[in-house]
Amino acid sequence: MSRAAADTRFRVGRSASGLGLFVRVPFEAGDRVIEYTGERITGEEANRRGGRYLFQIDAGHALDATGREHLARYINHACRPNCEARTVGRRIFIYAKRAIAPGEELTYHYGGIYFRAFIEPAGCRCTTCTRRAERAAHRAPASSRGDRR
Domain boundaries, given as residue ranges, for the chain: 10-123
User: Which CATH number describes the domain made up of 10-123?
Assistant: 2.170.270.10
pLDDT tens string, the chain, 149 residues long: the values are 445 556 999 999 999 888 999 999 999 999 999 999 999 999 999 999 988 899 999 989 999 999 999 999 999 999 999 999 999 988 999 999 999 999 999 999 998 888 888 888 988 888 888 888 788 887 866 555 555 44
pLDDT of residue 143: 57
pLDDT of residue 148: 47
pLDDT of residue 5: 53
pLDDT of residue 64: 96
3-state secondary structure the chain: CCCCCCCCCEEEEEECCEEEEEECCCECCCCEEEEECCEEEEHHHHHHHCCCCEEEEECCEEEECCCCCCHHHHCEECCCCCEEEEEECCEEEEEECCCECCCCECEECCCHHHHHHHHCCCCCCCHHHHHHHHHHHHHCCHHHHCCCC
